[in-house]
Amino acid sequence: MFKKILVAYDGSMHAQKALDAAIDLAQKYNSFIGVVSVINLPDFAGTVSEVDEIMAIPAIQLSNLPVKTNLILF
């Protein structure tokens, strides 16, 4: 029924519930999940590695999902 599922994820409790529901659907229908996450970067980062660390947070949080996923960062 569902081939692709898109989920907005910001790390909040509500986003986690939406992601859990998407995972259940993806497992049931062997679907792919696209996860969209918006990152709020500092206006003036001290170093490039500081920005890299901030951008890695969603990938770390979503790294152990039991279904096929693709993370899209904005």
**10-residue mean pLDDT series, the chain (74 residues):** 89 91 93 86 78 78 77 67
Q: What is the pLDDT of residue 41?
A: 73
Single-letter amino acid, residue 60 = I
Q: How far apart are the first and last CA of the chain?
A: 28
Q: What is the pLDDT of residue 17?
A: 95
- The answer to whether 15 and 62 have CB atoms below 8 angstroms apart is no
Q: What is the pLDDT of residue 14?
A: 95
4-73 is classed CATH 3.40.50.620:
yes
Q: What is the pLDDT of residue 74?
A: 60
